[in-house]
Each structure stands twice: as C-alpha cells, then as structure tokens.
Amino acid sequence: MSVSTDHTSMPSDAITVKTSRDPGWYDPVCLDNSQGAPNMKSAHISQRTVSMPRGRRFAVLLVLSWPLLGLIGCGTIPRNPVPLEQMDQAQVPGLPGIRSYATDFSKDFQKDFVQSVRDEPPGLYPLNADGTKPYSLLILSGGGEKGAFGAGFLNGWTQAGTRPMFKGVTGISTGALIAPFAFLGPDYDETLRALFTTSSRKDIIKRRLSADSLSNSRPLATLIAQYVTEDVIQKVAAEHARGRRLYIGTTNMDAQRLVVWNMGAIARSNHPDSLALFRKIMLASASIPVFMPPVMFEVEVGGKRYDELHADGGTVSQMFFIGTTMDPASARKELGFKAGGTKLYIIRNDQSDPVPNQVERKLADILPRTIDTVMKAQSQGDITRIYILTNANDIDFNYVEVPKSYVKKEKGMFNTNEMRRLFALGLEAGAAKSPWRKQPYLWKRYEKMKRAARK
C-alpha cells in the first residue's frame, strides 16, 4: 500500500508511542518467522506521547520518529540474511522457479508462459482470423486506501457487460490485495466491495513503534486470512491449470529489487505451506516500509537456509507488466501465433497527473508534497515504460486512474467513508462507455513537444 500524503492523514491531536513490552502486545517485528510468541527479552521502556497538531500528515511522523528508534526495546532484530554474492540464487525451499526478479530473464517464467498457452482449453482464447490471440491483461497499481477506486471500477466494469476474462493479472501493494479477486472474476465483486468499503484503519494497522516499523500489521494479516481462504487459492490453482496467470510484486529490501511471484504456480503446487505463503506475499506487497514491518521469507541457497526481508512492491515500482522475466516474441514464434490482438488495461489506484497547488513554507507541507511528487513521477515513469513496451509488442494500451476531481474530505488513513467515496467513483468510471485513456501523461507531453517543434 503506497503511503498516503493527504493533509488529513493524522487522525488525532497526539500519537501515543507505546514502547513497553507486555504479554498482551503483539509486535510482529519481535516474533520469529512463524509469527509465534513475543520476544520477552526486550527491555521495558516507558510509554511516550508525541504531541502533533491535528491535520499533520503521516510523512511528518516519519521524520519525528527517527530519534525514537534508538529507544525501542527490540533494538536490532536478529536475522540470517542471504550472503550478498548469493542473493541472485536464493529460492523458496521446495518451490523452485516460482519467482523472479523483474529485471532478470527467467527460463522458468518463459517455460511457464509457453505452457500456459498450451494448457488453454479450446475456445478460451481462440486464434483470431489474422493469427493473433485475443488476450486481455490487467495491471493493478499501488495506492493505499485508493485501492477502493480499483475495486469499484471492476464492479462497474462488470455492470457494463464488457469486462473480459483476463489472461494475466498483476498487482502491487493495494493492487496485490485486489489481484486474486480480479483474477477470479465477477463472482468476487462483492468480496472486493466488502474488503474496500467496510474496512478501516484498525483493520489494517495497529500503531506500535518498534525496531523496524511505526505500526504492526497483524490486523492486515488477519484481514487477508479472512478473505484469502483455501477455497480461493484452490480456484486460483484451477485457473492456472487453464492457462491463466496471476503475478504479485514485492520489494526485496536486501537486494533493492522487485520480485515477481507466480501466484498460480504457488497455489497449484500442493506444497503444505502454499496457503500461508500466498497470504504472506500479499501482506509483504502491501507493507509500507517504516510504517509497517517488512515480512521475512525463508529461502535456500546451496542447501543452506537464510532469510529475506520483503516490503511493499511500490517501493520499487507502482505497477508492473512482465519486466524482462520473459520474451514474448520468442514465445509467439515457438507457439505459432502473431503479435497483436492483445489488450492491456491499467487501473492506477491514485492520481498520476501533476496537480498544481500553492505549498506553504513549512515542513508539514513541504515533506508530504515531496513524497507525493516523487510517487507521481515514479508512477508516470512506470506507465510510460509499459506504454513503450506495449507499442513494441503491438499491444493495445488502456489506462484509467482516480479522477482529478477527487479531493479527500475526511481525516484519517484508510477512512471508511473516503474509501466508499472512492469505490463509488470507480463504480461510475467502470460502468462508463469509454473510461480509458490511450496514452500516458508523459507521452502526451512528448507528442505535444514534437508537434510544437514541427511548427
């Protein structure tokens, strides 16, 4: 979930930072990899209260928290990281080939994609008359509470009667929470509605300052477990067997790289921990660094066990397509169909276009404005990169985002009323006749520059 930088993101006049250890306080950063009992060896430190004026943003909390980090009872959490020279070789024990760095070519992913086409039942994606495949692909971006827009959009798209069955779905951050249900289709529209219109901040995080985060994410882990059941991953596995693909992105904090997980392969693996791993990946993809604790994964290199820290996929990219994990051209050649016929749809769960505003000369405005500007620039770059890739592969590009008209009205991150407003906006947009943009903002500016240069 990408960091919200709305002026109203601080819900109260004061933030209580509880750093004392007591058996009733669940702190996931002080737990072992199995999320077991709390580490009671930590020192006891008194409760502190940091007073802040109402209306300050979460970004200010990040700055003010730094001096407190040295006071945390946990100190540094012991871990066993992968040696630097072996980071590219790490695999999940018992599940080789189910993930890849987004910037690496993966023989496993390439082979899996080719197999996916061969697994398609007759008539699911029949060849067009011109020898192309009528695929539809969906990309779901990060955006925190604004994921409610994407959930609403999918519901509206269903109502419009034009929503396709996607060959592939990718999700990052809040998009990772939507992705499995978008992948499974309209039968899960009500699940998305419930997830994004009945949840609130208390269902996502619990504020507790600790050694590696400002809050703990047990509520979000519980929420994911409530909706991502054994039945859900069995259905994901069944769709994977029919040639459809679901991918989620997380950030490997050690390697500073985006990791793409083949969620359908995990679901279909029959591994005893497949459900737990599926949920854990979704949690990691939605865990904002610093604000929420990173998620630890056990990995293996050369028969030895290590751990990796993973966090919000939006740390590296606000959205992703296939990166360089596979080569579509060589796959098409092997399978005997032509480029073209494929449609790509991007749902950006936020606003990417610049929004002019008069920034006051004070930290409470400058810092969050900086974060918002950086995230918008990252998002524009991601969308433009995907646009160039789609052009190179003769893929029809379609893009939608939270409308500029949306301005947050109520205080608090993950505010239920705001998420309901966003869901309604998405529902309206999804049901519209032509909601899609055909070019990203930066490309339109580039085309405008070229036209001006020719005059």
Interval 271-314: pLDDT, tens: 999 999 999 999 999 999 888 999 999 999 999 999 999 999 99
The values of phi and psi at residue 232, to 5°, are -65, -50
Helix (H), strand (E) at residue 195 = helix 189-197
Quote the pLDDT of residue 65.
Answer: 53
For 160, 173, 218, 316, 353, the CA distances from 274, given in Å and listed in that order, are: 35, 20, 19, 25, 39
**CA Rg, the chain, in Å?**
22
Residue 324: predicted pLDDT: 85
pLDDT the model gives residue 77: 81
pTM: 0.84
Check if the beta carbon of residue 163 is closer than 8 Å to that of residue 398.
no
Report helix angle 230-241 to 274-285, nearest 10.
Answer: 90
Q: Which helix (H) or strand (E) holds 234?
A: helix 230-241
CB 193 within 8 A of CB 404: no
Start-to-end CA span in the chain (Å): 44
What string of DSSP letters covers 409-453?
A: -S-STT-HHHHHHHHHHHHHHHHSS---BSS-HHHHHHHHHHHHH
| Percentages (nearest 5) of helix, strand, coil residues in the chain | 40, 20, 40
| pLDDT for res 323 | 76
Low-confidence stretches of the chain (pLDDT beneath 70): 1-75
Residue type, 73: G
What does the DSSP assignment read for 98-153? SEEETTS--HHHHHHHHHHHHHSPTTSSPPPTTSB---EEEEE---GGGHHHHHHH
Q: What is the pLDDT of residue 442?
A: 78
Site of tokens 């500016």: 445
Of 363, 320, 291, nearest in space to 144 by CA: 291
Sign, CA torsion 200/59/294/31: negative
Dihedral angle at the C-alpha atoms of 380, 400, 292, 284, nearest 10 degrees?
-100
| Helix (H), strand (E) at residue 233 | helix 230-241
SS3 269: coil
